[in-house]
Chains A and B, each alone.
Chain A
Amino acid sequence: NAGVTQTPKFRVLKTGQSMTLLCAQDMNHEYMYWYRQDPGMGLRLIHYSVGEGTTAKGEVPDGYNVSRLKKQNFLLGLESAAPSQTSVYFCASSYGQGTSPLHFGNGTRLTVT
């Protein structure tokens, strides 16, 4: 099993450009999450989903949108990238809400110039 797969692994954007990060999990997990990791800030929750067709805002949702059209996929979109969105983005999934360990992807390193 691949677990949680994130694409792409690296990306460089110019300010104002848009992009979508794709997260796919093959564990039939209901819950999926997007976090960003910045130096000295730990991991901060951007958006999450408790099931297909649902999304909810996390701690730092501004500037991002998400969609969960299929249970196995969770997309994170940046409509107009800003340098403040330079970060490492991690997708995760879990079996239970808040009670189960998260399974993380390997991260996407995004640089916005």
Chain B
Amino acid sequence: AQKVTQAQTEISVVEKEDVTLDCVYETRDTTYYLFWYKQPPSGELVFLIRRNSFDEQNEISGRYSWNFQKSTSSFNFTITASQVVDSAVYFCALSEGHQAGTALIFGKGTTLSVSS
């Protein structure tokens, strides 16, 4: 069975600090997809990134970067020079994409609070 663990329930940082959100996943499949979503205080869910199990390249998008390591089953998310607007709940999710009818399984989320 697939599982996603986000051990950090809440993180508080001061603006301009770097912060890393951890995500550890479990799956028995060799083909799977990992996602990160952001949920700001307004409540909507915003897609940030998708990574498939065959692509271990790290990804950088502006202040955001993602580190995918199959050896440790982790897909961590780093925000560099955090800003108040980064305050949100961040969800990591996993899908065993090759199976018919699969859906995303989400972790419990990490609440990030960035203060000025």
Looking at chain B's contact residues, is the secondary structure mostly helix, strand, loop, or mixed? loop
> Are A42 and B33 within 8 A (Cβ)?
no
CA distance A58 to B50 in the complex (A): 22
Nearest chain B CB to A38 CB, angstrom units: 10
Interface membership of B82, Cβ < 8 A:
no
Q: How many residues of B contact A (CB 8 A)?
A: 27
Question: Which range contains the number of A residues in contact with the other chain?
Answer: 20 to 34
Kindly report which residue of chain B lies nearest to residue A32, judged by CB atoms.
Answer: B103
Complex formed: what's the CA distance from A34 to B17 in Å? 36
Residues of the A chain whose Cβ atoms lie less than 8 Å from the Cβ of B103: 31, 33, 45, 48, 58, 97-98
Residues of B within 8 A of A (CB): 6, 9, 33, 35, 37, 43-45, 47, 50, 52, 91, 95-109
